């Protein structure tokens, strides 16, 4: 599923992978971001993906989100900060937070290589990990407050999704 109806083509399947075109639409905006998701069906769940993304500018990001709505989400992504590649966890817990959320944690990673990302849901807690070498996981954040993704906190009735997201403001 996506957020809102796509008005242009920004994704395609290629060689068994989903390819997203990074566009200038934030996950926390009222626009239609480059996001494909799947409902999180169980309180205990895990989502993983391999991200092969070369951020062109600071602020570019692509990764894996746990999303309840444009106002409540976590985004674990590969991006660029200060000219270096990083893996970063951002959280948006309401309209008071910026559209990309606030950075919870980040770590420098080797540039130009695919990165595996993993989100593990454990009831009301979420763990976020990455691997720059297959199977060699590093926990970025453990025990993050997953209740921000609940319908009790965030409202609505759809529940949370896990999904892939890409963003670029287009400036090098």
Q: How far apart are CA 133 and CA 104, in angstroms?
A: 23
Per-residue pLDDT tens over the stretch 3-57? 777 788 888 899 888 989 999 999 999 998 999 999 888 889 999 999 999 999 9
Instruction: Extract the tokens encoding 32.
Output: 């239609």
Do 150 and 50 contact (CB within 8 A), yes or no?
A: no
Do 50 and 65 contact (CB within 8 A), yes or no?
A: no
| Residue corresponding to tokens 């691997």 | 131
SS (H, E, C) 69-138: ECCEEEEEEEEEECCEEEEEEEEEECCCCCCCCEEEEEEECCCCCCEEEEEEEECCEEEEEEECCCCCCE
| Residue corresponding to tokens 């993983």 | 48
Per-residue pLDDT tens over the stretch 99-147? 999 999 999 999 999 999 999 999 889 999 999 999 999 999 999 998 8
Which neighbouring-strand residues pair with 62?
78, 166
Do 30 and 70 contact (CB within 8 A), yes or no?
A: yes
**pTM of the entire structure?**
0.91
Q: How far apart are CA 33 and CA 98, in angstroms?
A: 15
Q: How far apart are CA 22 and CA 3, in angstroms?
A: 15
pLDDT band at 151; cut points 50, 70, 90: low
Asked if the 20-167 domain carries CATH number 3.40.190.10, the reply is no
């Amino acid at each position: 599923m996506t957020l809102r109806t796509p008005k242009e083509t920004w994704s395609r399947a290629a060689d068994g992978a989903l390819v997203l075109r990074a566009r200038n639409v934030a996950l926390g905006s009222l626009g239609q971001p480059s996001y494909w998701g799947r409902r999180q069906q169980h309180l205990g769940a895990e989502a993983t993906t391999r991200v092969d993304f070369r951020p062109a500018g600071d602020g570019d990001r692509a990764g894996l989100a746990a999303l309840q709505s444009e106002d409540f989400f976590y985004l674990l992504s590969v991006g660029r900060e200060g000219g270096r590649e990083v893996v970063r966890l951002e959280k948006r817990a309401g309209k008071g937070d910026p559209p990309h959320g606030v950075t919870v944690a980040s770590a420098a990673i080797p540039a130009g290589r695919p990165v595996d990302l993993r989100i593990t849901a454990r009831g009301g807690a979420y763990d976020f990990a990455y691997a720059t070498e297959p199977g060699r996981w590093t926990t970025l954040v453990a025990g993050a407050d997953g209740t921000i993704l609940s319908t009790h906190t965030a409202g609505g009735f759809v529940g949370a999704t896990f999904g892939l997201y890409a963003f670029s403001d287009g400036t090098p």
